[in-house]
Amino acid sequence: MLDIQLLRKDLTAVAVKLASRGVTLDTARIEQLEAERKAIQVSTQDFQARRNQLSKQIGQARGKSEDASTLLAEVASLGDDLKAGEARLAGIQEDLSALLMTIPNLPHESVPVGRGEQDNLEVRRIGTPRAFPLPALDHVEIGENLDLLDFPTAVKITTSRFVLIRGALAHLHRALAQFMLDTHTREHGYQEVYVPYLVNADSMRGTGQLPKFEEDLFKLTNGMYLIPTAEVPVTNIVRGEIIPAENLPIKLVAHTPCFRSEAGSYGRDTRGMIRQHQFDKVEMVQFVRPEDSYDALEELTSHAEAILRKLDLPYRVVALCSGDLGFSAAKTYDLEVWLPGQNTYREISSCSNFEAFQARRMQARYRTEKDGKPGKPELIHTLNGSGLAVGRTLVAVLENYQNADGSVTIPEVLRPYMNGASAISRE
């Protein structure tokens, strides 16, 4: 959610920035609603002040057992105007906030301007794709040849876009998540958290999935939602809280399954594990002081990169352009891993600074200090990033570590998690 003050003060500048995201702001409607709001709020508050004053006098008169009938008559005359004003004001406030909830965040000044994916800016490229003597297989062939990746059975159990993983590959999948959590907790200073996978609508609104993107979510019959990312439960930990300044930054990491309906992605990535209704992800979340959030974004991104480096997977870092940014993000770096089977880089992590956008929706604040004295509560900045998407990391390991004999070498750093095994072969 944007700051309503900013819209009042500089609506044109907001509209210009949003235009760079490809979003047209209905400035005329906002101006009109604001003008109405102001007029009605002032008059309504005047009515309320008068009513409160008269009511107080009635109470005093009653206390002295005096006649209050003239006061009662006057307050009665306020009645209809007051009620009508209150109702109109509530209606307009509702319209305004509903509108505000659907406006995306403003891009940071460092975000490249562009329309879509093709305008994203490659920031750096790390590692060299390995040369394969024969055309590299994709993870589906590798996994099915090993008899450890089973899509047809998953379809039988549920529907498409699910997978069944067996044996050493399931173990490798678990090892990856463990390795990521251990790295972030031991080397990067994150506290591990275990969180609910079902959340309420308030939490979904807090991080920005609702009200605009309900069709991307799985909703249960009791009104709860399956989380599309650990970002939702983890970030909402601080919803409605005022955090002592000395507790910042707070750095949390969680390993959760993620559920996405993938509505509207029919035909895209239908093969393999790239786009699934259910996948595991290790997610890092940071709560920081506003002045620290852009340093924190670089740091967070480097934490996600550390996993790819340790796994020795070639990747590149891409700064999303204004037109490709997610709804709540002010700036995002995508990490794209090299997939030999697709002969391309594919997204494996997304690291974003949301500035105060989510914090304002959640009313997540921290207590500032002025010369050692407690000051006013101010909105924190929130960040998060995948560190990493576990399913896609498994894909990347399979494809990058495949051998000509059909086996897959286990990356060094994962071997302690795999009982020391160095490769996965057909059992």
Partner RNA sequence: GGAGAGAUGGCAGAGUGGUCGAAUGCGCCGGAUUCGAAAUCCGGUUUACAGCUUGCUGUAACGGGGGUUCGAAUCCCCCUCUCUCCGCCA
List residues binding RNA (CB under 7 A): 4-5, 8, 38, 41-42, 45-46, 48-49, 51-56, 58-60, 62-63, 72, 75-76, 79, 242, 365, 372-374, 376-377
- What is d(CA 32, CA 28) in angstroms, rounded to the nearest whole number? 6
The nearest distance, CB 390 to RNA, in angstroms, is: 23
* C-alpha closest to that of 387 among 349, 343, 330: 349
The nearest distance, CB 397 to RNA, in angstroms, is: 32
CA distances from 206 to 232, 328, 361, 399 (A): 8, 10, 5, 37
Beta bridge partners of 345: 338
Residue 36 or 292: which CB sits closer to RNA? Answer: 36
Helices (H), 147-237: 151-157, 167-187, 201-207, 231-235
Token reading at 371: 């010369």
Residue 53 or 160: which CB sits closer to RNA? Answer: 53
Residue 275 or 367: which CB sits closer to RNA? Answer: 367
Q: Are 365 and 377 in contact (CB under 8 A)?
A: yes
Residue 125 or 367: which CB sits closer to RNA? Answer: 367
The nearest distance, CB 246 to RNA, in angstroms, is: 12
The nearest distance, CB 94 to RNA, in angstroms, is: 10
Residue 5 or 70: which CB sits closer to RNA? Answer: 5
CA distances from 242 to 94, 234, 320, 388 (A): 25, 16, 32, 30
Active site residues: 260, 275, 347, 350, 392
Residue 99 or 421: which CB sits closer to RNA? Answer: 99
Q: Which residues contact 278 (CB under 8 A, 6 or more apart)?
A: 162, 257, 258, 259
CA distances from 220 to 84, 144, 364, 380 (A): 38, 33, 27, 31
* C-alpha closest to that of 148 among 413, 419, 407, 415: 407
End-to-end alpha carbon distance in the chain: 53
Q: Are 302 and 184 in contact (CB under 8 A)?
A: no
Specify the DSSP class assigned to residue 329.
Answer: -
- What is d(CA 182, CA 195) in angstroms, rounded to the nearest whole number? 17
Residue 181 or 242: which CB sits closer to RNA? Answer: 242
